[in-house]
Structure 1
């Protein structure tokens, strides 16, 4: 985990944090997301290869939640901030749902995910809101 004080006082620390968040994102979206999870999180996907009969009811949102929790865990591990992990859980779920509905493309999906990471870094770097304890473990 990065020392948040390094990020809030040093632009190169903010860049390092952004890079670490992108590494965590790549791990969650590619290395830690197998074929089953990639398909099952989409409520419109054909899951016949996994379930010859009908898949269990509600499987798609459980898979989407599991995938988003992996991402939330990555944000938490990198930043140490539960509030940002929760934000990632919500944002990642909404963005991936929009992609699965065909409302956005893969490229837009990835751009939105990267934008969330940039937002987290900006919030930390700018220490906004000022009263929030960004480093509760210190």
Structure 2
């Protein structure tokens, strides 16, 4: 696949996964500073599921499980930092887009990954 098309799919996948596929409930549930269910820490599972959706989108766009896993790990870390107040919303989104550029760069340098 053409790398420009791959980047476009990565960006569309990000937009879908971070907005309509996340929703208000998941946005709050993944935040470790909020408590949606008193007495229960639901954020680890919610954050993992949100990150897995992103990883799946990257895996589908690139054909690489490795890049999908890298995306899931990076997405979870970036979102955790945003929820902790360490980074702003705009920096959060910029870092997510930067990851997509890194994944395309890896494909350019290394070719298709497993």
Determine the structure 2 residue equivalent to 1:82: 65
Q: 1:127 offset after TM fit, Å?
A: 2.1
Q: CA RMSD in A?
A: 1.4
The answer to whether 1:103 aligns with 2:57 is no
Equivalent residue in structure 2 for 1:56, among 24, 37, 40: 40
- Larger relative helix fraction: 2
Gaps of 5+ in 2: none
Q: 1:65: how far off?
A: 0.2
The residue aligned with 1:21 is: 10
1:91 to 1:135, Cα distance in 2 relative to 1, 3 A: closer
What is the total number of aligned residue pairs between the two structures?
114
Aligned equivalent of 1:36, options 25, 43, 50:
25
TM-score, normalisation: structure 2: 0.93
Runs of 4+ in 1 over 2 A off after TM superposition: none
Aligned-pair CA distance for 1:80 = 1.1
Larger CA Rg, structure 1 vs 2: 1
